[in-house]
Amino acid sequence: MSEPDAPAWAPVPEDMARLAAALGVATEYWDQAGNHVDVGEATVAAVLRALRVDVSTPESIQAALDELRLRDWRRMLPPVYVMRQGADRRLWVHVPDGTPVRVHVATENGARIDLDQMDWWVDPVDVDGQRVGEASFTLPANLPLGWHAIVAESTDAEATTPLVVAPNHLHPADIAGERQWGFMTQLYAMRSASSWGMGDLDDLATLAAWSGRELGAGFVLINPLHAASPVPPMSPSPYLPVTRRFANPMYLRIEDIPETSRLSPAVAARIGQLAEQLRRLNPTDDLLDRDAVWAAKRTALEAVHSAGRTPERQAALDEFLAEQGPGLRDFATWCALSDVHGPDPSAWPADLGHPTSPAVTAFRDAHERAVAFHSWMQWLVDEQLAMTQSAARAAGMAIGVMHDLAVGVHPEGADAWALQDVLAAGVGVGAPPDMYNQMGQNWHQPPWRPDALAEAAFLPFRDMLRTVLHHAGGLRIDHVLGLFRLWWVPDGFPAYAGTFVRLDYDAMLSVLMLEAHRAGAIVVGEDLGTVEPWVQEALAERGILGTSILWFETAEGGVIKDPPTWRRDVLASVTVHDLPPTAGYLRDEHVRIRSELGLLTTPEPVERAHADRERAAWAEVMRAHGWLGQDVDLSTDAGIEEYVVALHRAVAGSPARLIGVALPDVMGDRRAQNQPGTDQEYPNWRVPMTDAQGTPVLLEDVLDRPDLLDRIVGAVRGTVD
């Protein structure tokens, strides 16, 4: 993949650096290799413009600094207050100097809690010709959990702001106990004989119930189910959705929708024909075709929607619509607009550019049935997700289905349109250069604007979490560093010429903790890559699990960390979706792919030599522990299989609370699902699951318990001799 030329580098002027610091924009950072990097003026200026700050002249920069200094003094209360239980907190209230003020908390259940004023002096400030004072009030440590309101009343003014009270700590052990293990699967690639060409929620329920009941699994971790465009071509990447809040109806099992019983025989027969055409693809190794699957399922869903519902079912739908509120209305409207005008809002008529415009309201009224159809599909997904989680828990799973949350959304998608007031334009989220992608990455996803998200009281973030967690026993957060800081790449810049932008991580984590606590869900943060130790410590202090991938568990100088010394509160696994399955990794697939695609910055022989040393070093560790036989020949297929099992023994030899087993590993699959830093160069997210010979594997083959599956599961459960 080609990158644009880097902008000419120049140091950041002092006044711009002060403005950048005030807005959380980094002018320097340390890379993964421990090198200090200065960020150029062009990058910093472009990022500040994306934050809607004028940096065109020294005067405009000074005006922006002055505005930031007085911003909070111009309002009575902060836009939102986020706290955790366990310690008193100070709340500021701004009123004309000397004016008395009273403050209370109105809780979400209707109670009133009056706040005591603190003896805390802050010098008054002159603001727009008026002298403004700051009163301080105590927010007590024992406030109830929830989303409340702070109400301030003075002689001639009143203000209200949201108050978020989160638990001080999540308790994953209360859910997971000492240890749980589970499969990790890309649901779309896990087909059964009954699938419509791709894996679906019925397949997920089958895997969860079977692995929980027969194998003692405590969870199943799946790829993000976030919605893609309803208009082809559908993006294959589950990590580049049009929304993170709502799900892709492509995963519905049509036959499980109750209203299919209302179809006429002729329509039911036609739907059966569509299903059969796609089922013929299940045993093939053809690349997965989302557009074909969605075209057939959409035809079926439109027929089922037209069949109507019983009064009881309609009442359940109405309740769901009320719960989801304007967020679902806007998403369904975007889908209907995409049906008519295409999925790129920049190509729509100009008056449809914002969800609150009169033209959008008129469109929604004129296309009421289409909006209702897209809303209805989300209700169906919610129902089937509920049934899936219920099946998992009924089979004895402690956690059940663990969902995955992508780091961002498609720049032309529903969230980018509906949430444009809190997302930054002109930049894309990515990652700085690292050992596995030495040119950096740009995922072209619009990031949260930290200032705008706080002004919106973090409600867009909360609503997204609440919907995703509705029927989840756990939530994995991809690139959890994105709750602390994000790598912003300005449009037109190469991926390595970005910089970090800081978020209010304490508030973000607190909102996450509150919603996870209320859902009874465990949270896992993918804390790999350029993550400072204090970030991992902040997650652990809050009861959010981290992530350990065996190949990345190295200390300074590349020395392997012995598995018994790994962290306790993590989800540990041998591999991850951005690497080939273990049997492929052991055959240098990660080197071959990057070499063929021109993604290496060192010669291929050097990379292969590094891979040889890595394998040898891990073999030495595993033999020292007795996890790998001394006489195993790692150059043979049989030796590779022994190595795969031994690596899972190594992960099980760690203290990790959760252990993930990649489903392709138990079938001997070798092909990578994704190569970071590529788009069309590699068939990312379109590869069906196969066995060691490259023969397509169906869910029924997994349920037949091949020898490798039993050996790997036995390894993580500690039952292998």
**Count of Cβ atoms closer than 10 Å to residue 255 Cβ:** 14
| 37: in domain | yes
Q: In the 3-class helix/strand/coil scheme, how is 226-287 assigned residue by residue?
A: ECCCCCCCCCCCCCCCCCCCCECHHHCCHHHCHHHHHCCHHHHHHHHHHHHHHHCCCCCCCC
Residue in the block written with tokens 């007590």: 140
pLDDT at 3: 53
Q: Do β-strands 658-662 and 570-573 pair in parallel, antiparallel, or remain unpaired?
A: parallel
154 with 49, same domain: the answer is: no
pLDDT at 184: 98
| 265: in domain | no
CA dihedral 391, 397, 398, 402 (to 10 degrees): -70
Which of 424, 455, 452, 428 has its CA nearest to residue 442?
Answer: 428
9 with 132, same domain: the answer is: no
- The SS3 assignment for 39 reads coil
How far from 214 is each of 177, 205, 423, 468, CA to CA, in Å? 19, 14, 45, 28
Contact between 440 and 498 (Cβ < 8 Å) = yes
H or E element, residue 338: helix 311-341
Tokens of 699: 């869910």
- Report if pTM > 0.85: yes
| 457: in domain | yes
338-367 pLDDT tens trace:
999 999 999 999 999 999 999 999 999 999
540 with 432, same domain: the answer is: yes
Tokens of 553: 């568990």
CA dihedral 244, 245, 246, 247 (to 10 degrees): 50
DSSP bridge partners of 83: 165
Binned at pLDDT 50, 70 and 90, residue 32 comes out as confident
Which of 493, 489, 426 has its CA nearest to residue 8?
Answer: 493
| 437: in domain | yes
Which of 386, 625, 462, 530 has its CA nearest to residue 29?
Answer: 530
670-689 pLDDT tens trace:
999 999 878 789 999 999 99
58 with 111, same domain: the answer is: no
497 with 477, same domain: the answer is: yes
Q: Do β-strands 180-185 and 658-662 pair in parallel, antiparallel, or remain unpaired?
A: parallel
- C-alpha span between 189 and 199 (Å, rounded): 6
Q: Do β-strands 499-502 and 485-490 pair in parallel, antiparallel, or remain unpaired?
A: antiparallel
Residue 66 has pLDDT above 80, yes or no: yes
pLDDT at 676: 81
| 247: in domain | no
Determine the number of helices (DSSP H) and then strands (DSSP E) in the chain: 22, 22
209-253 pLDDT tens trace:
999 999 999 999 999 999 999 999 999 999 999 999 999 999 999
Tokens of 633: 């020949």
Query: How many whole angstroms from its chain centre is CA 39?
Result: 27
158 with 112, same domain: the answer is: yes
Entry field: residues in the chain: 721
Q: In the 3-class helix/strand/coil scheme, how is 394-423 assigned residue by residue?
A: HCCCCCEEEEEECCCCCCCCHHHHHCCCCE
- The SS3 assignment for 691 reads coil
Q: What is the largest CA-CA distance in the chain?
A: 85
114-128 pLDDT tens trace:
999 999 999 999 999
Q: In the 3-class helix/strand/coil scheme, how is 62-122 assigned residue by residue?
A: HHHHHHHHHHHHHCCCCCCEEEECCCCEEEEEEEECCCCEEEEEECCCCCEEECCECCCCC
528 with 424, same domain: the answer is: yes
pLDDT at 531: 81
Contact between 466 and 419 (Cβ < 8 Å) = no
Q: Around 511, how many Cα atoms within 13 Å sit in the side-chain half-sphere?
A: 22
Binned at pLDDT 50, 70 and 90, residue 721 comes out as very low
Mean pLDDT across the stretch 308-317?
97
How high is the mean pLDDT of the chain?
95
pLDDT at 31: 84
Which phi and psi (to 5°) does residue 304 adopt?
Answer: -65, -40
How much of the chain, in percent, has pLDDT values that exceed 90? 91
5 with 35, same domain: the answer is: yes
Binned at pLDDT 50, 70 and 90, residue 34 comes out as confident
CATH classification of the domain holding 160: 2.60.40.10
450 with 498, same domain: the answer is: yes
Q: Do β-strands 130-139 and 146-154 pair in parallel, antiparallel, or remain unpaired?
A: unpaired
| 464: in domain | yes
DSSP annotation of 411 reads: T
pLDDT at 426: 95
Binned at pLDDT 50, 70 and 90, residue 436 comes out as low
pLDDT at 309: 96
pLDDT at 30: 87
Mark which of 136, 166, 196 sits at the end of a domain: 166
Sign of CA dihedral 442, 446, 452, 456: negative
- C-alpha span between 502 and 499 (Å, rounded): 10
| 705: in domain | no
pLDDT at 677: 73
51 with 162, same domain: the answer is: no
Tokens of 315: 């009442």
Mark which of 135, 150, 166 sits at the end of a domain: 166
- C-alpha span between 529 and 517 (Å, rounded): 27
Q: Which domain holds residue 444?
A: 1-79+403-503+517-544
The 499-502 sheet, strands edge to edge = 441-445, 427-431, 485-490, 499-502
CA dihedral 268, 270, 272, 273 (to 10 degrees): 170
430 with 540, same domain: the answer is: yes
- C-alpha span between 48 and 612 (Å, rounded): 45
Q: What total of structural domains would you count in the chain?
A: 2
Mean pLDDT across the stretch 132-147?
98
Which of 256, 331, 238 has its CA nearest to residue 297?
Answer: 256
| 552: in domain | no
Residue in the block written with tokens 């509120």: 325
pLDDT at 719: 57
106 with 16, same domain: the answer is: no
95-110 pLDDT tens trace:
999 999 999 999 999 9
Tokens of 123: 């010098």
Residue 656 has pLDDT above 50, yes or no: yes
Residue type, 199: G
Residue type, 345: P
Tokens of 201: 């929620």
Mark which of 108, 142, 166 sits at the end of a domain: 166
Give burial (CB, 10 Å; 0-12/13-18/19+) of 315.
exposed
